[in-house]
Chain A
Amino acid sequence: SAVISQKPSRDICQRGTSLTIQCQVDSQVTMMFWYRQQPGQSLTLIATANQGSEATYESGFVIDKFPISRPNLTFSTLTVSNMSPEDSSIYLCSVDGQGRTGELFFGEGSRLTVL
């Protein structure tokens, strides 16, 4: 298993500003995933981040809006840029378990409210 810490756990932001979410894992992992969970909805994959390469974004998500860094095998950041109220969501960092089966371990999430 992996223990994942996310910061901040929650924040209230003003429209037009940007916020960076940090994700720290207690072990080295190859793949890290960023998900968005809008209020009352399921999880939607934003992007996959591998160390040493550009993040791979899913349809509907672009690097200018959600830039991601992955400087090493235990850390990643997701920035939500030029925020609007529609960006109010829980953002979840996750990592793959052993054996590349798609089993994921999750942080507790970062709850963002944009006013």
Chain B
Amino acid sequence: AQSVTQLDSQVPVFEEAPVELRCNYSSSVSVYLFWYVQYPNQGLQLLLKYLSGSTLVKGINGFEAEFNKSQTSFHLRKPSVHISDTAEYFCAVSDLGGFKTIFGAGTRLFVKA
């Protein structure tokens, strides 16, 4: 079974500052890793995914994440945030068959002017 831990429930940050949202996972088998974003009153949208290959993954809206197998982490980063990045961010893991995706508790990113 897999599990996902997002280490920060809320992250306040000033506009144009860098941000890192932390995610650790647990699994006895290889997994795929994802970050999703949920804007207010909307469904979830995929930001980026790690399936295989390069451990540095680039996604939409200037976000990137690095897969670290030894630390079982998949932290999300952005060098300079905008007010429009204010949203809930979910880290997720799925088994290699894609049969079940497990979500972390979410991190609320709040970008201040």
Residues of A within 8 A of B (CB): 4, 31, 33, 41-45, 48, 92, 94, 96, 99-109
> Who on chain B is nearest to A93 by CB?
B43
22 contacts between A and B (CB under 8 A): A31-B99, A42-B90, A42-B103, A42-B104, A42-B105, A42-B106, A43-B90, A44-B103, A48-B99, A92-B44, A96-B98, A99-B98, A100-B97, A100-B99, A101-B32, A101-B94, A102-B101, A103-B32, A104-B44, A104-B46, A106-B45, A108-B41
**The one of B44, B51, B100, B103 that contacts A101, using a Cβ cutoff of 8 Å:** B51
Number of interface residues of B (CB under 8 A): 26
Residues of A within 8 A of B95 (CB): 102
A92 partner residues in chain B, CB cutoff 8 A: 43-44
**A100 cross-chain contacts in B, Cβ below 8 A:** 97-99
Q: Is the interface of A mostly helix, strand, loop or mixed?
A: strand
Q: Which residues, 39 to 67 on B, are CB-close (under 8 Å) to A?
A: 41-46, 49, 51
Interface members, chain B 88-113 (any A CB < 8 Å): 90, 92-95, 97-106
| Contact status A101-B98, CB under 8 Å | yes
Indicate the member of B44, B93, B104 with the most A CB atoms within 10 Å.
B44
Central interface residue in B101, B102, B105, by most chain A CB within 10 Å? B101
Docked CA distance A92–B105 (Å): 16
CB distance from A88 to the nearest CB of B (A): 15
A33 to B60, CA, bound (A): 24
Interface centre among A4, A43, A100, A108 (most CB of B within 10 A): A43
Across the interface, which residues of A come within 8 angstroms of B43, CB to CB?
4, 92, 106-109
Decide if B34 touches A102 in the complex (CB within 8 Å): yes
Contacts of A99 in B (CB 8 A): 98
Query: Using a CB-CB cutoff of 8 Å, which residues 72-95 of chain B contact chain A?
Result: 90, 92-95
3 smallest A-B Cβ distances: which pairs? A102-B94, A106-B43, A100-B98
Q: Are B49 and A103 in contact (CB under 8 A)?
A: yes
Beyond A100-B97, A101-B98, 7 additional pairs, beta carbon < 8 A? A42-B104, A96-B98, A102-B93, A102-B95, A102-B100, A103-B32, A109-B43
